[in-house]
Structure 1
Amino acid sequence: MTDVVLAIAMALVVAVVIAADADAARHAGPGAYLFAAGFGALVLLRRRLPRTMVVVTVLTVFVYYTFRFAPIGMALPAVAALYSAAEVRRTGWAVGGGVVLVAVATYYRVTGTDAEEYLTPYDLVTNIALVAAAIALGVAVRLSREARVHEARAAEQRLQAERLRIARDLHDVVGHNLSVIALHSGVAAEAVGRDDDAARGALEHVREATSGTLHELRSTVRVLRGPVGGAAPDGTGGAVRPPDGTHPTGLAGVAALAEPARAAGLAVDVRLDVPDGALDGTIDAAAYRIVQEALTNVLRHASATRVTVAARVTDGRLALRVADDGRGAGALVPGSGIAGMRERAALLGGVLTTTDEPGGGFAVRADLPARLEGGAP
């Protein structure tokens, strides 16, 4: 429909110019108006054959003037062709066509013998202005359209990044809490009938882990219902945070993470040398999630008796280490979350490595920037 409207408009403009000629009775006729319709019809080629449209339009202008019809200007009939070529990334063809039209018009009007055809500065400027305006408008429309497409793709990428972040958070939270639940359920099952107090304590840990998981899921739902891609008010860049009354998603919450493990008999040594305000909210939340996933792996796979969680900020970098005395990397199974931890660190400009400890056990080490340049991603 747009092309049809442009075609009709082009034909009408040329026809009006023909009819407005002072000597229309001599210069205008059915043939001239047929050419006007032809210039309009060429517009219908603008999407499929833009280069052909430019070439045929330029040649048609030359043919038109060989019949000595009413003057319509050299650039005016080609405006739609030049605009369309520039709009679909054929700018070189549009410029070439415009140059040919202006050059031919200038040559014949300078060398012509008819006083009415002699070139004036006004005619030259008008032709150049029409050619330049048509090409510039086509380029502007194309760039505007490409900018909208780029914005749409960027929005889609932000959406995917948000989904991945939420998926990682849910994996870490649910995986950790289910490990705690499984561990203490086993303790309760063994203690029932023999040590009811121990069974009740284990079941209380199960209840707390279940409650924490539900809190995290509700928090995730709030994030999904809110704006996508924007930073959370707490500066975590949209990371899922529990509601008031639960431990914070940051290194300050590591002590609370350690309690269920200690209650299950695992000795957890937490050594945090991180001054208040030393970390961006996003870095703090990522460090917490890395510790959470590492502790989950210890509970599930390591058969360890002791684990150390250490964090220190030095020269603008956060050094994070979670090490146990268990069975080492051989105890891990595919899907243990190592890849997710590495990806989380890499997204923040850091690096995460895993190694077997010399004296036995397994260690997760992360080196992260304390602050992000330019804000959270």
Structure 2
Amino acid sequence: MPGPRDVPASSGAVDPRLADGLLAATQALAVALVIAADLEGTGRATLGAHLFAVGFGALVLAGRRAPRLVLVLTVLGVFAYYALGFPPIGIALPAVAALYRAADTGALRWAVGAGTVLVAVAAWARLDDGLPTAYLVSYELLTNVALVAAAIALGVSVRARRQMRSSEGRLRALTAVEQARDAERRVQAERVRIAQDLHDSVGHAMSVIALHGNVAAEAIGRDDEAARRAVEQIGAATSAQLRELRATVKLLRSPTGDVERGAVGIAGLGRLVDAAREAGVAVDLDVDVADPRPDGAIEAAAYRIVQESLTNVIRHSGATHAAVTVGVRGDRLELVVADDGPSGWSARPSPRGGGHGLVGMAERVAVLGGRLSAGREEGAGFVVRAELPVRLRP
């Protein structure tokens, strides 16, 4: 169980040594004042009696380290004090600090037991002295019980508050750790998104550039006009890629995805199709998306899926024709990219990682709560089908 020493220094708690010193001084002073008052006029308020007061206070200084031993010595000291005939000081007063400290440090049973012994012995002694039972019950016994109960209750209360502060501190620490982990997960997810977007956009641009570069290399010296057109296409693809990168950065910085929809969204599919056509693949584009438009993140995902699919059609399928169909059906955005290639490009080995081939597309769609399927279909070449929600769930 956490004790007083478990409270961090930064919590604003009083130094335990100072608290012990004040408690010891208060205990000793209270007993010494009652001894000096000698309310019954015994005339025995001697130095020896005051030394007992000092002793009761000194025991409190060790109460934090050995509360049970201090409690036992205090009870025995009270009995010894009365056995020596010193002025009455009450049976509970000299033990108040020891009872409090025992309850405060977790020795509650010991505190209750010691308090019961003191009250019982005091009651027996008063009855033996011939004190009326009515007075004993209505005043003497009630006073002792109240004093003992108050000391124990205060100790229990202080201990409970300290444990509550300790629990709150641990909870705050755990919350901070969880928040740090959550932030780390968000950073990692953002890195994956960036990697996916960069792979999709740069991969598509590099495929177009490489294709036109080969055309230019073969046409130089044979067909300068074809070489010039190929070089122009390389320049156009490079400029488009730079615009794409800028739009991607803005999109990633905007959680709502409303930044430059035309660059990375359904409105930008025409440029992807034009680039594929320049690369030698006849592409039909059919877009049926009316207002209100899908969320920006959904449009961006659709754009990336078409981009990755056309990139693979150009690089791997050997197709001469492809069709891209995008439409809203109820609350779903349906997307189909089909080619007439003789072999499915999915058969090509692709790296297993975020943003690569079908794996990257499937991850992107799954994160948004959609579905993706891909494969060869009878009477067609390779077909990619994706369904995405029109609106992101809050």
Relative to the length of structure 2, the TM-score reads 0.72
2:284 match: 269
Change in CA separation of 1:296 and 1:27 when aligned onto 2, cut-off 3 Å:
farther
For residue 204 of structure 2, the aligned residue among 160, 163, 176 is: 176
TM-aligned CA deviation for residue 195 of structure 1? 2.6
How many Å separate the matches in 2 of 1:252 and 1:105? 85
TM-aligned CA deviation for residue 119 of structure 1? 3.1
For residue 236 of structure 1, the aligned residue among 231, 236, 257 is: 257
1:9 match: 15
Q: Counterparts in 2 of 1:158-197, with a 5 A limit? A: 158-197=186-225
Asked if the contact 1:353–1:365 (Cα under 8 Å) also holds between the matched residues in 2, the reply is yes
Change in CA separation of 1:219 and 1:8 when aligned onto 2, cut-off 3 Å:
same
Asked if the contact 1:302–1:331 (Cα under 8 Å) also holds between the matched residues in 2, the reply is no
Tell me if 1:365 matches 2:385. yes
TM-aligned CA deviation for residue 278 of structure 1? 3.0
SS of match in other structure, 1:209: helix
1:61 match: 67
For residue 303 of structure 1, the aligned residue among 318, 324, 329 is: 318
TM-aligned CA deviation for residue 5 of structure 1? 5.3
TM-aligned CA deviation for residue 296 of structure 1? 0.8
How many Å separate the matches in 1 of 2:9 and 2:53? 24
SS of match in other structure, 2:276: helix
How many Å separate the matches in 2 of 1:177 and 1:215? 12
Q: Which moved more, 1:131-140 or 1:175-184?
A: 131-140
Q: Which moved more, 1:128-137 or 1:103-112?
A: 103-112
1:136 match: 164
For residue 368 of structure 2, the aligned residue among 324, 332, 348 is: 348
2:146 match: 119
SS of match in other structure, 2:286: strand
Higher Rg: 2
1:18 match: 24
Change in CA separation of 1:267 and 1:151 when aligned onto 2, cut-off 3 Å:
same
Change in CA separation of 1:219 and 1:288 when aligned onto 2, cut-off 3 Å:
closer
Asked if the contact 1:319–1:368 (Cα under 8 Å) also holds between the matched residues in 2, the reply is yes
Task: Please tell me the root mean square deviation across aligned C-alpha atoms, in Å.
Answer: 3.3
Q: Which moved more, 1:340-349 or 1:133-142?
A: 133-142
Change in CA separation of 1:107 and 1:77 when aligned onto 2, cut-off 3 Å:
closer
How many Å separate the matches in 2 of 1:251 and 1:108? 86
SS of match in other structure, 1:373: coil
Q: Which moved more, 1:326-335 or 1:271-280?
A: 326-335
Change in CA separation of 1:368 and 1:4 when aligned onto 2, cut-off 3 Å:
closer
Change in CA separation of 1:351 and 1:105 when aligned onto 2, cut-off 3 Å:
farther
TM-aligned CA deviation for residue 359 of structure 1? 2.1
Aligned residues: 326
The amino acid of 2:362's aligned partner reads R
Asked if the contact 2:344–2:382 (Cα under 8 Å) also holds between the matched residues in 1, the reply is yes
How many Å separate the matches in 2 of 1:170 and 1:100? 69
SS of match in other structure, 1:364: strand
2:266 match: 251
Change in CA separation of 1:337 and 1:100 when aligned onto 2, cut-off 3 Å:
farther
Change in CA separation of 1:305 and 1:104 when aligned onto 2, cut-off 3 Å:
farther
Change in CA separation of 1:167 and 1:16 when aligned onto 2, cut-off 3 Å:
same
How many Å separate the matches in 2 of 1:309 and 1:166? 25
SS of match in other structure, 1:372: coil
Identity %: 41
Relative to the length of structure 1, the TM-score reads 0.75
Tell me if 1:72 matches 2:135. no
Tell me if 1:36 matches 2:61. yes
